Amino acid sequence: MNIIFVSNSLARGKSITLGRNQAIALILGWVSLPVIIALGVYYSMLYGNPAQPANKTAHVQENLNTMAARLGQLQAQVLRLDAVGGRLAKHFGLPEQEFDFSKQPGQGGAETAAPQYQLDAHQLERELAMFARQLEERSRSLGLLEAMTLREQVVKSTSPTLQPVSAGWFSSNYGWRIDPFSGKKAFHEGVDFMAEVGTPVKAAAGGVVVYSEYHPQYGNMVSIDHGNGTVSRYAHASRLLVKVNDIVLQGQKIAEVGSTGRSTGPHLHFEVLRNGAPQNPARYLQTAG
């Protein structure tokens, strides 16, 4: 194969003689050149386009902005926890704060003229770590308040603060009085509620029934042990609805008003004892609610 080169700088043309193999290599190279150029352009567009890293950076920054916004929401949730804790703390006489989980906390304000900056990954990580510690502290505090609330509820439910009859009035108070049978001055160890026969008698507090039968003085009587040395008595009932060792809840019907035993008429005689000593029931009933 002969190739002739012609140029103005040459006095006459030059010819180059190629062998068969050299000619085939030259043709293959010439044909494949456009393919090589096309591949190069494609590679440049795919990997060498300077817009690609910019897009990737913008995407990362967008994710960071989203995470930063979420962080702001979580911080608002912390403020909400503080508010709920405030109400609970106020209930127990602790320093005030306030919490409200019922709705999304509102945020807003005018756009500031102060310079703003975007958080990078390291700054965001530090903010999240700080927030995690805040949540842990709040969780411990709320756990303590929850335990205190539960304890108060238990104490309240086992303290005879519920009036044992929904209707009625004191016909005889706690303390010294003229005995209706002997006419002599005697100490009355409970309070008497005037009520009709059959009126429901409810447990003033939760506990275990330790007595439920007829008593020569008290007639049909129920005694409930509330723990911590506190016992309540319900006397002169017409009907008993619980038995010894029954577990009763505060407000549960345990008997019906009557006039059995040493009684002048239908009423409920109600007593509270603390370590065996009679207490004024009115003091417990006044603490209800």
Distance CA 229, CA 163 (A): 20
**Burial environment of residue 77 by CB neighbours within 10 A (0 to 12, 13 to 18, 19 or more):** middle
Query: What was the pLDDT predicted at 166?
Result: 87
What value does the CA radius of gyration of the chain take, rounded to a whole number of Å? 46
Type of residue at 125: E
Match 């019906």 to its residue by tokens. 256
Average pLDDT over residues 199-206: 95
Which two structure tokens, joined as six digits, stand for 130?
Answer: 């700080």
Query: What CATH number labels 170-285?
Result: 2.70.70.10
Q: Which residue has the tokens 């009907």?
A: 239
Cα separation of 42 and 37, whole Å? 9
What are 81-93's pLDDT values in tens digits? 776 666 666 666 6
Domain map (residue ranges) of the chain: 2-47, 66-101+118-157, 170-285
Comparing C-alpha atoms, which of 280, 267, 265 is closest to residue 234? 267
Measured torsion, CA atoms of residues 277, 278, 279, 281, in degrees rounded to the nearest 10: 150
Answer whether residue 116 shows pLDDT above 70: no
* 198 token code pair: 């059959």
Q: How many residues does the chain have?
A: 289
pLDDT per position as a tens digit, 10-42: 555 555 554 554 544 444 444 444 444 444 444
- pTM here? 0.53
Rounded Cα–Cα distance for residues 204 and 199 (Å): 15
Residue 68: pLDDT over 80: no
Beta bridge partners of 271: 233
Please, which pLDDT band fits residue 281 given cuts at 50, 70 and 90?
A: very high
Going from the C-alpha of 154 to that of each of 82, 96, 252, the distances in angstroms are 25, 24, 16
Q: Is the pLDDT of residue 250 over 60?
A: yes
Task: Answer with the residue of higher pLDDT: 223 or 286.
Answer: 223
How large is the average pLDDT for residues 89-111? 59
